[in-house]
């Protein structure tokens, strides 16, 4: 039965998360995860809309509550993503025709305990300002990045710093002489 669902969705291009994506994701090396999870405006089978994907491996079900459905929790249910071997990847997916940039949404995750919890998208590209907390469909393809000033002004890599920062270097960690074997004998003697 699982294979039937897998073939049905794969043939129709509904599933965005491939076997290879699943392998890299579970290995921790899917470096462009933001392209696979969250809300992505796209054209699917000639229809404009938004593809949603979220990782909820222990959920009993996941649905999408959005402006378009009156924030109803029991209307737009997401599908489990299975790999080609029939194993659930932990990813839930859904394509909704007609949704677009600026539309608000939340995931409704029903846990094994039977309780449904409304959740903002952890991979959202944009979200409402507090006190509201819905996620917002956003398109990064047309976003104008403005970090040229930082890149040209000598970012961390141009100053010779690593990702850990100056405080992570061995000679600086713990103060002067920390970690040196001769530090105690010099003071004693």
pLDDT digits (tens, 9 = 90+) for 122-159: 999 999 999 999 999 998 777 777 777 776 666 555 54
- The CATH class of the 2-148 domain is mainly beta
Q: Cα–Cα distance between 98 and 50 in angstroms, integer?
A: 8
Which ranges in the chain belong to alpha helices (H)?
Answer: 2-11, 19-27, 148-152, 183-188
List, in sequence order, every residue forming a beta bridge with 61; answer none if it has no partner: 110
Q: What is the pTM of this model?
A: 0.68
Question: Does the structure show a pLDDT above 90 at 115?
Answer: yes
Summarised one tens digit per residue, pLDDT across range 76-95 is 999 998 888 888 888 999 99
As a whole-number percent, the residues of the chain with pLDDT over 90 amount to 43
CA of residue 2 relative to chain centroid, distance: 25
pLDDT band at 110 (very low <50, low <70, confident <90, very high): very high
Tokens of 41: 């405006």
Q: Cα–Cα distance between 93 and 79 in angstroms, integer?
A: 5
């Amino acid at each position: 039965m699982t294979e039937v669902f897998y073939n049905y969705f794969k043939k129709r291009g509904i599933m965005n998360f491939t076997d290879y994506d699943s392998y890299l994701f579970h290995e921790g090396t899917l470096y462009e995860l933001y392209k696979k999870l969250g809300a992505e405006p796209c054209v699917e089978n000639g229809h404009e809309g938004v593809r949603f994907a979220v990782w909820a491996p222990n959920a009993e079900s996941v649905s999408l509550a959005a402006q378009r459905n009156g924030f109803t929790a029991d209307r737009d249910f997401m599908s489990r993503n299975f790999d080609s071997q029939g194993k659930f990847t932990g990813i839930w997916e859904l394509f909704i025709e007609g949704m677009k940039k600026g539309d608000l949404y939340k995931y409704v995750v029903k846990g094994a305990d039977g309780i449904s919890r409304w959740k903002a998208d952890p991979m959202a590209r944009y979200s409402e300002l507090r006190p509201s907390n819905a996620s917002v469909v956003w398109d990064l393809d047309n976003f104008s990045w403005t970090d040229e000033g930082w890149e040209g002004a000598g970012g961390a890599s141009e100053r010779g710093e690593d990702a850990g920062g100056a405080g992570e270097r061995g000679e600086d960690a713990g103060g002067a002489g920390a970690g040196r074997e001769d530090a105690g004998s010099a003071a004693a003697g």
